[in-house]
Chain A
Amino acid sequence: MVEISDLHFAYDKRAILKGINMSLQKGKLIAIMGSSGCGKTTLLRHIGGVLKPTKGYVKISGQVIHELDQHNLYAMRRKMGMLFQFGALFTDMSVFDNVAFQMREHTTLPEELIHDLVLMKLHAVGLRGTQKLMPSELSGGMARRVALARTVALDPMLIMYDEPFAGLDPISLRVVGDLIRRLNDALGATSVVVTHDVQESLKIVDYVYFMENGTIAAEGTPEEIRASDKAFVRQFVHGEIDGPVPFHYPGGDYRQELNLSV
């Protein structure tokens, strides 16, 4: 379904992605993990065709994304959904209008049908009662669920989630995790979840990729990941402070900077 091959990308001169290879199978829920700033969002932006790789490609249903023209890229994006880190709900529209947005932009469905579809989507995330509220009136967890409803409004075949668990309380976190799994299975879609939340995501996903330093450092099913003896994976899964991922940002000599005579 999605094939990523030898993907390279650099912001200005700074290389962010240095040869990513992935193969995402249809119907699966895949997690991408890695420390902050390692390029996970950048990778999602390549799948969505927002950024162009310097080398390599992302292929979806056999089409190379960065070679599509604007028209075909937009056609491709209609089949994708992306949940942004903090939901990115349109602040000048009600919850209802947010979920209805793509239906109104991309279809000629009559308003009564849109009304029913929106309520079904909101019902699926348990928030039918919020349809008249504005995004500013929702809690963080509720906003994330409304954004989820908006993301799947047109039943996408590929859904991307950028840190869907960030900043949620434990209950909302379980709710959102559970929804991601159920939506994926109900739509028969392929889902990619970018996350730090190892414990929650290992419970729901089918396959895991670990990114480090612009490459894939490890991959496998949740069982394989839990059993892995790679130091880097162990550090991440068990949340150890120091390991291959250092606690200290590289700096000068500590004693020298404190003006201690050696």
Chain B
Amino acid sequence: MPFTHTLQVIGHRTIDAVWRIGLATRFFALTLMYSGTSFRRFHLIIKELFSTGVMSLIIIIVAGLFVGMVLGLQGYETLQRYGSESALGVMVALGLVRELGPVVAALLFASRAGSAMTAEIGLMKATEQISAMEMMAVNPIARIVAPRFWAGVISMPLLAAMFSAVGVFGGYFVGVIQIGVDEGSFWSQMQAAVDFREDILNGVLKSFVFGTVVTVIALFEGFDAPPTAEGVSGATTRTVVTSSLAILMLDFVLTAIMFRGN
């Protein structure tokens, strides 16, 4: 009966996945519900902003610089065939602000900050810190999860903006300084073609959505991890895999909604 067995396995996996999505949604709702403490005592969020946001800064800046330089090179290659290398600035900026900034920054954020969050919370659970907090009549969702959630949501758009800004500079470096594209047209065409609402705001919206999704996945996996060494390492891997896939799929959906017909 290999066929029915396969069906059975697929069925089990599907039910399991749906079940986990339900649990994660409930977890997300609880996090929002118990967010009051974090805003009344904002220093709790500030502390987490440091460990999620500031600690991811270096990797975001380095990655942004290189992605921008590659865009400069590839963009020039393509554009000069049509004699329109003066549009290089537009191409680099739009590519970054609309797509690569939010997406690549979110992927890096998931593997740098997301995995660290899962591991930290999983270990807190394994060493009974979460139970201890509950026994001290302090709600762990309010005290541990919510500040980290808001720190992730706040820092993701900022990191993506940083990524795009550094990337534009990388494109400028390769295009203008190395290859010799006209500096004036690089900047002025960029200024003329990049729209605030259409491009920048949509890009920020994307990274806001990615930040929310990555942080919720990371926190949920940590909170849900079996309290053992294998449990925590498995959860960390799941965070990176699940949130990377979620970012790429959501990016398609969001792009289709935002830029359809332009």
Contact = CB atoms under 8 A, between A and B. Distances in A.
A and B pair up: yes
Contacts of A82: 132, 135
Nearest to B143: A105
A102 B135 contact: no
Contact of A75 (B124, B127, B129, B137): B137
A84 B138 CA distance: 16
Interface in B101-149: 120, 123-124, 127-129, 131-138, 143
B127 A77 contact: no
A80 B132 CA distance: 11
Contacts of A102: 136, 138
Contacts of A88: 127-129, 131-132
A214 interface: no
Nearest to A160: B135
Contacts of B127: 86, 88, 91
Contacts of B134: 50, 77
A88 B135 CA distance: 11
A34 interface: no
A75 B138 CA distance: 10
Given A86-B128, A89-B129, A91-B129, A105 B135 contact: no
A91 B124 contact: yes
Interface string B81-119: 000000000000000000000000000000000000000
Given A91-B123, A91-B124, A50 B131 contact: yes
B123 A101 contact: no
A78 interface: yes
Interface in A73-123: 74-75, 77-78, 80, 82, 84-86, 88-92, 101-102, 105-106
A80 B143 CA distance: 19
Nearest to B120: A92
A23 B127 CA distance: 30
A129 to B, nearest CB: 24
Contacts of B137: 74-75, 77-78, 105-106
Interface in A17-59: 48, 50
A90 B136 contact: no
Nearest to B47: A92
Contacts of B123: 91
Contacts of B135: 48, 50, 77, 80, 82
Contacts of A90: 124, 129, 132-133
Contacts of A105: 136-138, 143
Contact of B128 (A78, A80, A85): A85
B173 to A, nearest CB: 39
23 contacts: A50-B131, A50-B134, A50-B135, A74-B137, A75-B137, A77-B135, A78-B137, A80-B135, A82-B135, A84-B128, A84-B131, A84-B132, A88-B128, A88-B131, A88-B132, A89-B129, A90-B132, A91-B127, A92-B120, A102-B138, A105-B136, A105-B138, A106-B137
